Amino acid sequence: MRKKSDALQSNSNNDIHKVQKNDTLIYALGGLGEVGKNMYCFEHGNEIVIVDCGVLFPGDDLLGVDYVIPDYHHLIRNNKKHKKLVITHGHEDHIGGIPFLIKQVGIEEIYAPRFAKALIEKKLSEHKDAPKVPIIEINEDSSVKMKNFTIGFFNTIHSIPDSLGVFITTPNGTAVHTGDFKFDLTPVGQNADYQKMAFIGTMKPDLLMSDSTNSGVDGFSISEMDVAREILKIMKSTKNRIIVATFASNVYRVAQIIDAARKTGRKVAVFGRSMENVVEIARNMGVIHISNDELLSPDQLKYTPDDKVCILCTGSQGEPLAALSRIVNGTHRYIHLKPTDTVVFSSNPIPGNDVSVNRIVDKLFRSGATVLNKSVLNNLHTTGHASKSEQKLMIQLLKPKFMMPIHGEHKMLMQHRQTAIETGIPEENIFICSNGDILLMRDHQIIPSDWRFQGDDIYVDGNDISGLSTAVLKDRRILADNGLVAVVIAIDSKENKILCRPVIVSRGFVFLKDSQPLIREAEYVVGNALAEKMKEKTTFAEIKNCIRSSLEPFLYKKTHRNPIVIPVILNSKAAMEEMMNKRRAATVKNPRSTHHSLKNSGKPASNNHTNHKRGC
């Protein structure tokens, strides 16, 4: 038996991890264990500061899903608290979720750097039903003051203009959020604010939350200026038409491509909706310099000599609907590939997109075009995220006491953890968290909480912010893998009998013309099962269950596949009329009990069944 003092010590240690009244809560609703969907929260008293609000673009396994967004339930439950949203930069994985957030959560103001502000305004203009939230422009000299928080900023280098890091002072200590960053000694655009980072380091911040995307890449990344020189060299040496595919979000790269085209006397044709939007906004803000005379409209392409043309387009990741994919597949309205074309990929395939990109490249080679990818022989792409040496430099500049790697898959977070240990941060002071985990900042200490918030993914189809259930996605996967079988039966519910043999229709399961014996046998199996079921009084629900329970095992036995089985019951006209008369009488007698009685009867409402008298 333990001594009483040992028991008291154990209870005291357990209490350390419980949320206390004056704690500052730090947690992520997205961005941990994944690259995208970034959303980090700081909560104290009746105030919440949210840093970034992004989306994650779905993989091939999420059929029909347009976006993946964080679960906002904790913020919705705390809608009475004052909430401000701070944006570090304008990439979709940091701003894409804003329309969905402000429709559900009361946000008082959005603070965003200049370029991000323009992108957010463009995005919200497409969501007419979104409430109006003030968007306040910030820069490295801005300061946001709340009752419990003071927020400052510093310039960082990324692949988009106006990228900021965030410095947050709370009643319990200080935290630095780097945003997405890299270090580039010859940057295109603004430079990193090394002096301010070093000054923050002299104040010994308590917690560093740092970008982990390239934690597995050694050394320093290539300078964006090296990429600019490579692109200019290609433009000068190519004698025919050039097609350049890159990320529309890589604004500095887009600017360098356009600048190289202008220097070599080429006019630029821009294709892809996201690329067109970025070029328009960047021109308005002076980030991209090109006159209207130097831009080509789609109709002008056919009249312009090939050696005077540069086509700038989306599709560097092999996206099936992007401009480059449509060009390669011969479905683009204005551009048709020529054997003399040179196609430049100024990007690296995102993990998972390799197959799609290779498919596009193969088709380009088949057309006779010259294809240039990033390789050890050229500098056609560089990342916007810090490699290991750059991460070490950030840690050395800021000198944090504790660290929380963010923005990365679990492997990336663990690699960043090892890098932090190598720079001298104690292993026990580094926290690898998941979405929803809570860190407690208490009197300049960081303590992992024994409580967590909901941190699930919400799947968005179109602009529906209610989210798709996992059951819907499961049905979509079954439909994709196994198809659908509809069983149509005609009955007379008044006489309780089947009017004709069941009819089976298949979509995506078997080809009906080649599978008539199987279909006829399946109709026979269902018919026999229904004949037995209809010997006694039954309900529509029981008839549907009878169809499924008899047909599904039969189809699996014959094909080893499990299609979705949908029973369609057609009731006779006379029976339907009698049913409707009974319902009308019940409604007149007791209006409130009608829905309840129908539900208990096991018979769905009449609009779930088709009035049908003929066709048997």
**Smallest Cα–Cα separation from 208: which of 20, 344, 407?**
407
Annotated active-site residue in 71, 162, 211, 457:
211
Q: In 10 A of CB 471, how many CB atoms?
A: 8
Cα separation, 100 vs 314, whole angstroms = 25
Answer yes or no: is 91 a known binding residue: yes
Answer yes or no: is 384 a known binding residue: yes
Query: Is 385 known to be catalytic?
Result: yes
Is the distance from CB of 160 to CB of 193 less than 8 angstroms? no
Q: Where are the beta strands (DSSP E) in 453-483?
A: 457-461, 464-468
Amino acid, single-letter form, for residue 274: S
**Smallest Cα–Cα separation from 90: which of 135, 25, 143, 147?**
135
Answer yes or no: is 314 a known binding residue: no
Q: Rounded to an integer, what is the distance from CA 522 to the centroid of its chain?
A: 42
Q: Where are the beta strands (DSSP E) in 246-341?
A: 267-271, 309-313
Query: Is 177 known to be catalytic?
Result: no
Answer yes or no: is 158 a known binding residue: yes
Annotated active-site residue in 385, 416, 609, 612:
385
Helix, strand, coil share of the chain (percent; to 5): 35, 25, 40
Reduced 3-state DSSP string for 485-539:
EEEEEEEECCCCEECCCCEEEEECCCCHHHCHHHHHHHHHHHHHHHHHHCCCCCC
Is the distance from CB of 220 to CB of 183 less than 8 angstroms? yes
Q: CA separation (Å) from 387 to 184, 216, 393, 560?
A: 11, 7, 10, 48
Is the distance from CB of 323 to CB of 272 less than 8 angstroms? yes
Helix (H, G, I), strand (E, B), or coil: what is residue 296?
A: coil
Answer yes or no: is 180 a known binding residue: yes
Answer yes or no: is 612 a known binding residue: no
Helix (H, G, I), strand (E, B), or coil: what is residue 269?
A: strand
Answer yes or no: is 178 a known binding residue: no
Specify the residue for token string 């057609």: 570
Answer yes or no: is 382 a known binding residue: yes
Angle at 513 between CA 508 and CA 516, to 5 degrees: 100
Phi and psi angles of residue 61, each rounded to the nearest 5 degrees, phi first? -80, -15
Answer yes or no: is 250 a known binding residue: yes
Per the structure block, which two tokens stand in for 315? 């599709």
Q: Is the dihedral of CA 577, 581, 583, 587 positive or negative?
A: positive
Answer yes or no: is 89 a known binding residue: yes
Answer yes or no: is 410 a known binding residue: no
Answer yes or no: is 354 a known binding residue: no
Q: Given strand 47-51, what is the order of strands in its sheet? A: 135-138, 109-113, 82-86, 47-51, 39-44, 24-30, 437-442, 445-452
Specify the residue for token string 């333990």: 2
Q: Rounded to an integer, what is the distance from CA 398 to the centroid of its chain?
A: 31
Cα separation, 29 vs 75, whole angstroms = 10
Q: Is the dihedral of CA 590, 594, 595, 596 positive or negative?
A: positive
Per the structure block, which two tokens stand in for 558? 């014959």
Answer yes or no: is 381 a known binding residue: yes
Per the structure block, which two tokens stand in for 434? 């998941």
Reduced 3-state DSSP string for 560-613:
CCCCEEEEEEEECHHHHHHHHHHHHHHHHHCHHHHHHHHHHHCCCCHHHCEECC
Binding residues for Ca(2+): 64, 66, 461
Residues marked as catalytic: 211, 385
Binding residues for substrate: 248-250, 381-385
Binding residues for Zn(2+): 89, 91, 93-94, 158, 180, 407
Binding residues: 64, 66, 89, 91, 93-94, 158, 180, 248-250, 381-385, 407, 461
